[in-house]
Every structure is written in structure tokens, then in C-alpha cells.
Structure 1
């Protein structure tokens, strides 16, 4: 993805200029990422950007928690590098990711005064899930995560003077854990396979997985050494996921709706991205602005009248902008495959025009995954 960063970091500027610098960097990154989701970029096709966004929902970081939003470019690149690998490798990389560490007070975690924030979220959200660890496990994991600092070249480095090198007992195993070995140990636990499978299932299918299906997928995933491609393919191929797509059971999240609307419209005019970003904030899902470390809502949780009205207004605003419409590159036909089930107010296939796109964007079916 083209870098939104400049040679100088925001934190190096005078204090009165840092806020504006951070906002400008964030907006540039948001525009770039939305464009990547709609059309891809020189290094990441749109389909891969969508898979990266899936994992950004598992490891969400708000640019507002960072000294410079462009640290998120590293997180995007790291996730991209691990899309074809294992969750063990991805989890390890995320534990050592500067953006995630900074967002959860990782560099404040000193051997003399351990900070449990990153450790708690690592156990609860990124690996085991609630109910599968003790408070002692949190304290010991915090000790394992002590000592990481951000270097001048934006790398995370373990400082031996700040790290607790002693043995820690975590989930019944005693070792001189650090961040890397802790992540590898947590990834081996059966609860991690179940918890991460469930989180991805909710994002891709919408409804909670049946217990037997969850157990089968989690066991199969462990047999496949936590292969990320295997799990995503297995979820998409499940009878529940197929039925969800055929029956339109999942409400798409705002980023999905806006990205596919931009893709269909084909306008890369700056107004198109500006209107879309304003709309996404009103819809509740601006890029890199998660509501909490738990990520964004899913499926029925998006059924909020204010958010739903914002979806319709924002898509119609795209069509109403003369510069956007003049630069549109429409397909020769609007095919039936555009929606999971037939639209209620528009017969497909249809000839693309402002009127037909307006009817499509206003149709409730356009909001389904």
C-alpha cells in the first residue's frame, strides 16, 4: 500500500502542530485504505485487502491511540505477510507489532511495575477467550511481556534492562517466557482455536456457530497447524455459511457496503473517497477507528436506525455529486450476482444509470452480505 507517511514523524514536530499532523496522517491513511478495499492497490488486491480488514477486526487499533497513524501501515503490512501462514505466526507478529503494543500500553510494561493491559487482552481477545485463564495467568503473562520498547526506526525491541527474565508459570507451564514464546504457547491451547474460530465465524457468517460445528472446525484447524487459509475456506464452505449467503442472513458492515458501492460506481475522484469517509463515520465504521479493543459490531448489531439511515444517505450522496458521477466508470450491465438475493425494488440484470444505481443503493438487499 502506498505510504501515507512523510520523512518526519508527528511526534518530532512542535507540540502545537502534532494534533493536526496526526489527523492529516490518519485521514490520508483512511483514504488509501478505503481505496484499497474498493479497488486494490499496487501490492494488495481488493480481495486480500478485505481479508486484512477481517484481521484488523480481530486486532483493532485506533489511530487516536498512536503518536502517528502511519504506524498502522506496519500492522497492515504484517497481516498481509501472514495471510497465507498460520495463526501462531500471526499472533506472534501482532504481539510484537508496534501499533498494537502502543495501543495497549505495552511499552509502559516494566519489570519493576508490570502493566497488565496487553496481557489481559492477549488472553481474553486474541487467544483463549473468557473463562479459560486465571488472574495469576494474567499477572504472569504481563511479566512475560515486560521490556518492549519502540526504537527510533519504529521497530519493537526487547530491552533486557526492562524485561523480567525469570520463570513464569502460565496455563500450567513454567518457562522464561517473553512475548514471542508466550504467543506460541497460547496458540497451542485448544481454547485459542475455538475462540478465534468463533470470532471469525461471527464476522463471516453472522449468527453464532452451532457447538458441534465450532468444535469440528476448531479441531480441524489444530490438525492443520492453525493454517489461516484453511480456516477461512472451511468457514465459507460450511452449510451454515452457504445458507447465510443464499438467504441473505448477514448484514454487511459499513466498510463492505461502501467499498463495493465505490467499486461498482468506478469513480476514483477525491470527492468519492471524501463523501464515503464522512459517511462511514456516520455509519459507525470509519477505518482505524474501532469503538473498543473488541473491534466493531457484527451482523444484527448494526441494526441501529441512525446508522442505517446514514448508510442510505451516504450512498445517495455519492450519486448526487456531479464530479463523482462525471468520473464514474460503470459496467455494461448490473448483473444478478451483485446481491445475495434479488433486490426488492429493482429487477436485475439492468442497464446502469443514475436511476438504477439509486434504486439499487436504496434497496435493503444492497446492505446484505
Structure 2
């Protein structure tokens, strides 16, 4: 299949699909068989900004084991995306346990063997996506970018067609000082890097938490170090640091801008699981569709889209509810464009911290 036949694919994630079981602090009861994983939540973030028929441009991969719940198939079908469902009846679906404690502490462990995704999982449609979401270590990030571009005939030469946008979410366990050199190398291969504030600081052996809020000045300093090192082949990529209730910062060679989180009330945040992944799905679609042409010139608008996507991901346990209304589709009863407009109006009055 030639590139022109598949150019409608705007987004593809190589994040894993996981069925989550979640335990909260008493008296909140546990929940089981929850659609989850970085792949599902980033696909959600992209899907929120891709109503049909554009929903088909959202690519993700779901490996369905012998225990795959029928109700999750129904949810996936309702989203009407370009999901690649792969039947793996010889194994159990990848499952994880999430435990929440005090002070937003979260524990996680896999309860079945995980099936990690790489470039070999991409069919011809997904291979020619305009953007890719990667959640991995620095060295694996480099390998994935090289292999995807090689399969497209674009490594190391320019090849046919424009290069895709690569959005890298560093895997938390390997955000460590001993990985910093590998991280600097990985930054040369991607367009946007997006850790949360704790992960960014951990790469430098620091802590970015101060008095219950993010240490804004430290996050700015460390983000600027990455920007100065050069992000992307031409050095003009961006850092987008996610800081939970304190919003996010967008930084490149021309911009340093903080944005607030959409939800300013803790009561609106029911379960933060997947908020960061959802943010990056929205951000990726914003890079592709947030302006007259795809590219990093859309980074500020893309971060706004990411913030809106994250807001829908964290309002409930599991995924937000998709429904159809006379005015178009809604998520949790809200039209996405209305929330986007409201947020933009709020940003006009926002004072930088």
C-alpha cells in the first residue's frame, strides 16, 4: 500500500493496552476490568478531537487475550477508531493492578505477562501515520524511531513524503541520572519530549516538588537545558512538561509558557490514571491539526488540546462516556469544542507563575 492511500492516519501510539484493576483508599470500592494502559488513554486523547469520520485516523493496537471482556470490545467499537485488534488466544490479556494511597501515591504492577509493542506491530496503514506516541526508555526511543523510518524508507535519507512527528513520553522507571546521557542522545531523534515534572527532575537527580506544588523555576531551568541541547534533527523541537494540578509548561527556542490545568477543583479529579497519556494523544492531534499545516509551529495550541483531553480522562474511573447528541458527539455530556472555547477564554486572563 502506498503512502498516499494511508495519509489519513493522523496518530499512532505504541503504548500498550492494559486491562486495569484499581484499588482506592477506603471507603471507595475497587473496580475491575477497566479499559486502560498508555495506548488506550493516548488513543482516547486523540479520539476526543477526532469525531467521525476523522475517528478512523486514530491508530492504536489492542492485543486481545483469551480472557478479553466483551464489554471492552463494545467500548472500542463505539469509538470507531482505526484500532488494530489482534487476537492472541494463546495468552491472557495484559493486566495491571493500580493501588492509590495518601498524597496521590500510586502503586502499579503487572498481574499477567506484558506484550510490549514495537515497530514490527505496525501494519501498512499505521506505519504511515503523521504522528507517533512513544512511551519507552531513551535507548528504545532511538531504536523505535530508526526502525519506523527505515520501514518507511526514510532512514537515513529523506525518503518519500514528510517525516512523521515523534512525541516521546519517557518511561518513569528509567527517568534517572544514569540515563541522562542516553536521554540527550534520544532528544536528537524526536520532535517533542514530555515527562511530568517529577520525571524531568529525576533525570537530573533533583526533585521538582515544593510545598505541595511544582517547583516552577527548577522545571523552567531543566527544560531550558534540554532545549539548549537541541531537540530533533534540526534542534527546533519542544519540551512539554506535565505538572498535574499545576498545569504544564511549553518550552522551545522561542517559547516558555505555563498553562493551568483545566480542572482547578480537586473534586473534579476522580481518578488521575491516564491523564498524562490522554494529554499526549490530544497534543499529538493538535500538532497535526491545530493549524493550517502539521508541525511544531502548532505546539502551544497542541498543549491546549492536550489539557482538554486530559480533563476528560480524569473525571471518572476509567474512560469518559461517549454519546451522540443533535449537536454532535459529547464526552461526559460535554461538547469538546465548548470546553476548548471556555479554556481559551480562561487562558487570556491567566497570569504566568
Band the TM-score falls in, shorter-chain normalisation: under 0.3
Higher helix share: 1
TM-score (norm 1): 0.26
TM-score (norm 2): 0.27
Higher strand share: 2
Larger Rg: 1
